[in-house]
Structures are given as C-alpha cells and as structure tokens.
Chain A
Amino acid sequence: MRRLLTLALACGLAVAATAAQAQVNNASITATATVQAPINVAAVANLDFQNVFPGVSKTVAVGDPTAGQWSVAGQTGTPVTLNFTLPANLASGGNLLPIGSWTGNHNTTASPTGTSFTPSGTPTAATLSADPVGQLFVYIGATVTPATNQPGGVYTAAVTLTVLY
C-alpha cells in the first residue's frame, strides 16, 4: 500500500511537472541597424581674388586655380545635400567689399568638371562616389565688386559648407 502511495505521489509530481513545463514557450527575433559612415568635410583651398582694383569687378570661376574647394568623405554612394552659408560682403576692419554671383561645381573626382550649381542656403543634392572612399569635391567661385572709392586693405569673410545625409 505504501509503495502504491509513493508511486502515486511521484506520478502526481511528474504530471504536475510535465504540465508546468508545457505551459512555457519562447522564440527570438533579431534587432538590426546599419550605421552610416560619418561625413567628413575638409577645406582644401580658399577662394582667393588676389589683387582687385577700385571700380573693377573681379570674378573667380570654379575652374580657376584660386577657386574655393572642399573635399567630402562619407558613406559610399550615398545622397547628400550641400548647404552654404555665404557672406554678402568681405570685410577689412569696418570697410566692406560686396561679393555675390556665386557659382559652384561638385564632382566625385578632384576636378571642377562635374555638376554645376548655384551655391546658396537652399540644399543642393549630390551623391558621394561609389568607390570605397565615398568622396565628393566641391568648388566655389564668386564675383567681388569694389567701389570706385574702395579703401585699400585685405578683405576676408568665411564661406561655410555644411553637408548632410
């Protein structure tokens, strides 16, 4: 009788254990994300008008040796936007020299023979190169218009390029 009770108890425990085990189940999924390479923008060359004379406008074209230039590197083959902060004047102390008529060119190789555009605060679309470097070269030109009584001096201002994915 005792053996029977022991067996019954063991049996009951086994049933309970089996029942409890059958009530739990699980499964998994993956979580994934793809990180893009950060964008690096480097100033390569300043936009340099060199000597200008009062009353004589001077233009530097994107293909000129003194055009402004940046290099951009990021995620291979990825679209980006080019956003410029452009000055209206160059300054020398309190004297101003108007600058405008901006021109631009971007290319996936280091040559100002790519796509022409007009630099502005409005985003310009471009695409980084499809090679592993993911690069882009940006060139900028403009025209300065000295007044006939423009004071002598060195006039400067910052031209900023912001590149976004």
Chain B
Amino acid sequence: MRALVICAFALASAIPLPAQGRPLRVRGIRPLTFGVVFPGIPRVVPRTDPVGSGEFDIRGQKNSTVLLQLTLPPSLTGPGGAAMPVTFGPNDAGYSDSGAIGAQIGFDPTVGGSGVLGKNGQGTVFLGGTARPTTGQAAGTYTGTVVLTVTIL
C-alpha cells in the first residue's frame, strides 16, 4: 500500500518535469496560402512571405532543444478529388526563436530540423513551398494538411 502511494505520488510529480512547469504546446497560426494559380504555371511561396507562408507557434520550457518534424502533403485536393502537386525544397522551412520572420534559420521540411526555444520559451516554424498546377488543372480551390510534430530532446 505504501508503495502504491509512493508510486502515485511519483507519477503525479513527474508529469510536469519535462517542461519544468511549462508544458510543450504547438499551434497552427497561419495557413500556407498559394493564392490564385494558373494552369501550367508553378507558384512559389517563400518561407519569408509574411502573408503566404505557413506558421506554427511553439511554447515550452525556455532553452529547450526541440526536434521539428513536418508531415507534408504530396498534393492538394480539389474539385472532384482532383490532385494538384505541391513540392517542398531543402530550404522551404525555417525556425526562429524570436518569432521574427526575418530571423529564421532554414531547414529542409522533408527531412526535419531542430532548434532551441528562446528565453521566453517560444519558437516559430515558417513554411513555404511550390504549387505546381498542370496545364489541364481543373479550376477550383485545392487544400491539404501540413502537420508539425515537435519533440523536446
């Protein structure tokens, strides 16, 4: 009985340990928006685009090293299930510990990256990419989902 009490106490006290009182939190802030595209004409959105680039906010224990892994769609889905290819280059993702879009360190979103949360326990991931409509691409709105998984190392 005493052991169970000790175990329960340890579990309860262990939960906040990884973040030292500040749990890891990840939020999607801004969608990756390619805007209007034309059949046969690729549309590039740089990760430094303050309007079109995707953005994630990370909060956790300050100075924590985080592993950043993105799950990227190979295509966006449109009318009638039509697919429009999207690609992500080796410099299409960026990490900033200040949240400033101009202070990113680039990384390959297809591989993943790492960073250190800032003094305020904050980090930001920006994402660009290229939409590649085919010459016969059907008109309409196309969407896909990008997932950022953050792991504290």
A18: which of B15, B24, B140 is its contact (CB, 8 Å)? B15
Partner pick for A34 among B11, B140, B147, B152, CB 8 A cutoff: B140
Chain B interface, DSSP helix/strand/loop, else mixed: strand
**How far, in angstroms, from A19 to B151 measured CA to CA in the complex?**
12
- Asked if A30 contacts B24 (CB within 8 A), the reply is no
How far apart are A70's CB and chain B's nearest CB, in angstroms? 20
Identify B149's interface contact among A4, A7, A26, A35, CB under 8 A: A26
A14-55 contacts to B, CB under 8 A, are: 14-15, 18-19, 22-38
Binary CB contact string for chain A from 55 to 83 against chain B (1 if under 8 A, 0 otherwise): 00000000000000000000100000000
**Beta-carbon contact of B143 and A32 below 8 Å:** yes
Mostly helix, strand, loop or mixed at chain A's interface?
mixed
Residues of A contacting B144 in the complex (Cβ-Cβ under 8 angstroms): 30-32
Binding site for B on A (CB under 8 A): 3-4, 7-8, 10-12, 14-15, 18-19, 22-38, 75, 165
Task: Say if the beta carbon of B17 comes within 8 Å of chain A.
Answer: yes
In this assembly, does B39 line the interface, its C-beta being within 8 Å of a C-beta of chain A? yes
Closest A residue to B144 by beta carbon equals A31
Mark interface residues in B26-63 (1 if CB within 8 Å of A CB, else 0). Answer: 11111111111111100100000000001110000000
List 7 contacting pairs A-B, 8 Å CB cutoff, sorted by A. A18-B15, A27-B26, A27-B56, A28-B146, A31-B54, A31-B144, A37-B139
Interface size class of B (residues with CB under 8 A): 35 or more
A28 and B28 form a contact (CB under 8 A): yes
Residues of B within 8 A of A26 (CB): 26, 147-150
Q: Are A24 and B14 in contact (CB under 8 A)?
A: no
CA A26 to CA B69, docked complex, whole Å: 9
Give chain A residues whose Cβ lies under 8 Å from the Cβ of B105: none
Bound-state CA distance A33–B52 (Å) is: 10
A29 touches B142 (CB 8 A): no
CA distance A11 to B148 in the complex (A): 31
B10: interface (CB < 8 Å):
yes
Q: Enumerate the 7 nearest inter-chain pairs by beta-carbon distance, A residue then B residue, closest first.
A: A11-B7, A33-B34, A29-B28, A37-B139, A26-B149, A31-B32, A23-B152
| Inter-chain contact B31/A33, CB cutoff 8 Å | no
Residue B3 is within 8 A (CB to CB) of chain A in the complex: yes
* CB of B120 within 8 Å of the partner chain: no
A25 and B129 in contact (CB under 8 A), knowing A18-B15, A32-B142? no
Task: List, in ascending order, chain A residues with CB within 8 A of B151's CB.
Answer: 23-24
Which residues of chain B come closer than 8 Å to A12, judged between CB atoms? 10
Please tell me if the beta carbons of B11 and A35 are within 8 angstroms of each other in the complex.
Answer: no
Enumerate B91-127 residues with CB–CB distance to A below 8 Å: 127
- Is the beta-carbon distance between B39 and A35 smaller than 8 angstroms? yes
Say whether A34 contacts B37, CB under 8 Å. yes
> Is the Cβ of B10 less than 8 Å from the Cβ of A31?
no
**Do A35 and B78 have beta carbons less than 8 Å apart?**
yes
